[in-house]
Amino acid sequence: MRAFLLLPLLLIAPLPAQASAQLALDRGCYSCHGEPPRRNAPGMAQLAADYARYRGQADAPRLLAEKLRAGGLFAHIAAHERLSPADCETLMRWLIEGAK
Ligand code: HEC
């Protein structure tokens, strides 16, 4: 009976990561960060590898999201800048956790 009650929890647990992958898909991230990546964009796996160093830093997703949305001085990427703060933070957290 106990195991029966736990089963739904096990099914729900992976959902946040899947939802984030879907969000990345919906927001067009893979059109540049797919395999092969477009022009000078790093691939999603590359980004995740870079961002793995932020694991365990509670404010990293928020700070990285602010940075991405603000854009560079010369590189304005609409797909980055039009993300809502909440979506962007979700995606940064997802990247830090390995983009699975
Ligand atoms: C039009 C192409 C394009 C799209 C679409 C795009 N990106 Fe990017 N992205 C780039 C390029 C080019 C770079 C590398 C240059 C730069 O950092 O500005 C980059 C860099 C990044 C970086 C690294 C920034 C840093 O300085 O560490 C992250 C994180 C990122 N993109 C996430 C995303 C996410 C999430 C999405 C989907 C919402 C997305 N990108 C959509 C082109 C794109």
pLDDT of residue 76: 87
* Inter-helix orientation angle 44-51/85-96, to 10°: 80
| Ligand 1 atom nearest to 40, measured from its CA | 12
- What is the per-residue pLDDT across 7-60, written as a single tens digit (0 to 9) for each? 555 555 556 778 899 999 999 999 999 999 998 899 999 999 999 999 999 999
Q: Which domains does the chain have, with CATH numbers?
A: 16-96 (1.10.760.10)
Cα separation, 80 vs 91, whole angstroms: 11
Of all protein residues, the one whose alpha carbon is nearest to atom 10 of ligand 1 is 41
| 82, pLDDT greater than 60 | yes
30 CA from centroid of ligand 1 (Å): 10
CA dihedral sign, ordered 74, 34, 29, 18: negative
User: Token match 């797909």: residue?
Assistant: 79
Question: Which pLDDT score is estimated for 73?
Answer: 78
pLDDT value, residue 87: 97
Radius of gyration of the chain (CA): 15
Residues in the chain: 100
Looking at residues 70-84, what average pLDDT do you find?
A: 91
Could you list the beta-strand ranges (E) of 5-84.
none
- Higher per-residue pLDDT: 47 or 3: 47
Which pLDDT does position 28 carry in this prediction?
Answer: 96
Q: What is the pLDDT of residue 96?
A: 98
CA–CA distance, 21 with 5 (Å, rounded to integer): 28
Model pLDDT, residue 39: 85
pTM score above 0.95: no
